[in-house]
């Protein structure tokens, strides 16, 4: 499932052709994805101007001039693909419709944005912009890791006394927004923290030290266009490249890349997810 860097990469790709632009026609080709689409979604979107595109955790939010906000979740395999971009940033002509093109935005400027989702685990919803933060999918989400609200003191306080593994704690969206399996594994490797360590038993200084590492890992991933493992594509259809720099994720049996460490990368399963770590330098 796309994590924060992948969703932010897609948002940045969509912004030049959607922000300030009118949806000339919205085409909705099925009644649902993971959940039913909102009533009259095509009509409510057609003719609306996209005032702003923003991201909250792993969701893209399009604020419309009608006082509503479109929520988009990519799910496991969802793609937002641009064609016919009048700004000249994308060279793709409009492709022929495909089986899994479930929602299509025909923009007045000539661009077309297609939401293609083969597995149909994605989702869209419409909500009032002024109460968007209270939406059931957004209400309990913690601070954005690249924002000012995510600080050393916040993370230390949030993990104090926690009996859950640090890996599980950092995946908890109520503690910090947008982190997923890949970037937590990479963060804990850089912080030299074993993924199975109980969060509440890790010294406050070590917990605080994870905050700048989280920001660094996410920033590097965004600059690389995210990580493409299976289905993820950027808005222009290109792959992300951060997967080529993974230190531990997916590298079971490989040598540790830290200078002076002779350890190997191991894999354990935590809550049904693979955790990758160096057996020698993560304690």
User: Do 21 and 52 touch, CB atoms closer than 8 A?
Assistant: no
**Spatial CA neighbour of 279 closest among 267, 186, 270, 269:** 267
CA atoms within a 13 Å half-sphere pointing along the CA-CB vector of 98: 11
Catalytic residues: 2-3, 58, 273
Q: How far apart, in whole angstroms, are the C-alpha atoms of residue 39 and residue 109? A: 26
Q: How far apart, in whole angstroms, are the C-alpha atoms of residue 147 and residue 69? A: 21
Instruction: Tokens 């399963």: give the residue.
Output: 269
Q: Which residues, at least 6 apart from 272, have a Cβ–Cβ distance to it below 8 Å?
A: none
Residue 67, both tokens: 């006082």
10 Å Cβ neighbour count for 108? 12
């Amino acid at each position: 499932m796309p994590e924060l860097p992948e969703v932010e990469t897609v948002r940045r790709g969509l912004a030049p052709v959607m922000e300030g632009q009118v949806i000339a026609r919205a085409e909705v080709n099925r009644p649902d994805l993971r959940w039913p689409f909102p009533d009259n979604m095509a009509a409510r979107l057609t003719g609306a101007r996209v005032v702003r595109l923003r991201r909250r955790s792993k969701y893209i939010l399009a604020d419309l001039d009608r006082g509503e906000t479109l929520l988009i979740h990519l799910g496991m395999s969802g793609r937002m693909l641009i064609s016919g971009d009048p700004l000249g940033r994308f060279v793709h002509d409009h492709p022929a419709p495909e089986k899994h093109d479930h929602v299509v935005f025909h923009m007045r400027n000539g661009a077309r944005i297609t939401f293609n989702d083969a597995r149909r685990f994605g989702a869209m919803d419409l909500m009032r912009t002024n109460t968007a933060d209270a939406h059931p999918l957004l209400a309990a989400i913690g601070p954005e890791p690249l924002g000012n609200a995510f600080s050393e003191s916040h993370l230390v306080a949030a993990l104090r006394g926690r009996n859950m593994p640090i890996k599980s704690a950092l995946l908890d969206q109520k503690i910090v927004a947008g982190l997923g399996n890949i970037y937590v594994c990479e963060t804990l490797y850089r912080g030299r923290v074993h993924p199975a360590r109980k969060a509440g038993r890790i010294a406050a200084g070590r917990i605080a030290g994870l905050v700048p590492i989280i920001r660094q890992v996410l920033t590097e991933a965004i600059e690389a266009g995210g990580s493409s493992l299976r289905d993820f594509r950027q808005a222009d259809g290109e792959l992300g490249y951060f997967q080529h720099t993974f230190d531990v994720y997916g590298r079971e049996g490989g040598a540790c890349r830290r200078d002076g460490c002779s350890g190997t990368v191991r894999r354990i399963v935590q809550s049904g997810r693979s955790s990758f770590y160096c057996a020698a330098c993560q304690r």
